[in-house]
Structure 1
Amino acid sequence: MKMIKKMLILIVMGFTLVATPSLSYAQTLSKGSTGNEVKTLQSRMKNAGYFHGPVTGYYGPLTKYAVANFQLATGIVPDGVAGPRTFGKLNDVEIMARVVNGEARGESYLGKVAVAAVILNRLEDSRFPKDTFNVVYQTNAFTAVHDGQYNISPNASAYRAAIDAMKGWDPTHGSIFYYNPHLASNNWIFSRPSVTRIGNHIFAK
């Protein structure tokens, strides 16, 4: 139901839906499960760098091992069972990786982690929504969402950066904004207290 609501929000806002299968928050997959949902799970785990076997649609030992390692990295009990919390984290990784790829493509790896960290910092700030989807799709929040770069398939470093930020790496020291001073057109952003500069981006609070 949550994913359906999010799809409707996208349509109302006029965005083009990314042709990437979403994992349902309601389902639970475990060793012995089969089907397209398992294929989607394996593909997502492969993108995130945790699943190294073929995408077969069968939830075997390799899939369980990958899920457990992903859970361990993202603060979930590593039981190897893919349930709502695991799917939620995987969907968050996908969203964050797409923002990182769109906003920091060409930046250093540190710069990619920094962009991901800003998303997570906004989740902790009362001025922003409380889930990754709504933080990213907030009006005018991220240029990549509005100019279509969000729809470009992320590369491996974008996924790694999203996960490293989830693990607690924050090169921005709590920043909730960033901008390229050579491209920014809104004078308001220049009024924000600067924290650090990484590559082409200044990070601010």
Structure 2
Amino acid sequence: MTKKLKYIWAVAIVLLVNVLVISIVTNMGGSVDALSKMGSQGSEVRSIQTKLQNQGYYTGKVDGIFGSLTRTAVIKFQNAKGLTPDGIAGPKTLSALGLGGGSGGLGGFSSSDVTLLARVTSAEARGEPYEGQVAVAAVILNRIQHPSFPNSLAGVIYQPGAFSCLNDGGINAPISDTAYKAARDAINGWDPSGGAIYYYNPAKATSGWIFSRPVITVIGDHRFCK
């Protein structure tokens, strides 16, 4: 092989390597592929479906699969909020849903929010099966989206008379490890309560009004209601 031919081959190999590197970097940095859209799957999609369901835009199953029903619900939500109705859950749509990434947070909640949710969950659902702990955390999150309750986590938790643990001192007890996990699972979209905004233990409830609420499901000692 002549020196000229060797040089041509060397240049060709260098060019090919550069093309491959650029391709890899581009694919790694492509932000569009990271957005939840048709065909996406995972915990973010589950969170989107839960938020949309709680607000009446989504009637399908919360399965973590971004299909046509989810896309239609996203478009309805975007139209209602004055966003570009492209059916893609980008940063602005996620933020409007309350799922925008906060610094150091989870699903738009700060680390202190997660701790507060875990603290109430631990106090209210101590001794309950894990699914029941997640359900209690989910009820708290569902209230944020409901017009009858404050629109912030702290507002919901500290609403007068909302949680007995604030009155009996239970909120000051050590937080269980499972409560932290339950809080994170609820924030990530798992809602075993089925969209409930109330729950009670019939053996401990002191308000007759709560017994009038339609029961969605029963988990452990708690009844979860609309």
Deviation at 1:157, TM superposition (A): 0.6
Matched residue count: 129
- The letter for the 2-side match of 1:176 is I
Which residue of the partner structure matches residue 155 of structure 2?
134
Deviation at 1:124, TM superposition (A): 0.7
Which residue, out of 129, 143, 147, partners 1:108? 129
> For the aligned residues, what is the CA RMSD?
2.2
Which residue, out of 169, 189, 202, partners 1:181? 202
Alpha-carbon distance between aligned partners in 2 of 1:172 and 1:131, rounded to the nearest angstrom: 20
- The letter for the 1-side match of 2:132 is G
Deviations 1:90-133 (A, max 9, x none): 12111111111101110110010000000000001000001101
In the TM superposition, structure 1's runs of 4+ consecutive aligned residues that sit over 3 Å from their partners are 74-78, 85-88
Question: Matches of residues 1-205 of structure 1 in structure 2 within 5 Å?
Answer: 75-77=99-101, 82=104, 88-205=109-226
Percent of aligned pairs with the same amino acid: 48
- The letter for the 1-side match of 2:170 is Q
Alpha-carbon distance between aligned partners in 1 of 2:122 and 2:174, rounded to the nearest angstrom: 8
Alpha-carbon distance between aligned partners in 2 of 1:75 and 1:86, rounded to the nearest angstrom: 5
Alpha-carbon distance between aligned partners in 1 of 2:114 and 2:178, rounded to the nearest angstrom: 12
Question: What SS does the aligned partner of 1:117 have?
Answer: helix
Gaps of 5+ in 1: 1-73
If you compute each CA radius of gyration, which structure gives the higher value, 1 or 2? Answer: 2
Question: What SS does the aligned partner of 1:202 have?
Answer: strand
Gaps of 5+ in 2: 1-97
Question: What SS does the aligned partner of 1:197 have?
Answer: strand
Alpha-carbon distance between aligned partners in 2 of 1:190 and 1:132, rounded to the nearest angstrom: 25
Deviation at 1:88, TM superposition (A): 4.6
Alpha-carbon distance between aligned partners in 2 of 1:149 and 1:115, rounded to the nearest angstrom: 15
Which residue of the partner structure matches residue 20 of structure 1?
none
Deviation at 1:76, TM superposition (A): 4.9
Alpha-carbon distance between aligned partners in 1 of 2:197 and 2:211, rounded to the nearest angstrom: 13
Alpha-carbon distance between aligned partners in 1 of 2:107 and 2:225, rounded to the nearest angstrom: 31
- Identify if the C-alpha distance between structure 1 residues 87 and 121 changes in structure 2 by more than 3 Å, giving closer, same or farther: closer
- Identify if the C-alpha distance between structure 1 residues 86 and 75 changes in structure 2 by more than 3 Å, giving closer, same or farther: closer
Question: What SS does the aligned partner of 2:110 have?
Answer: helix
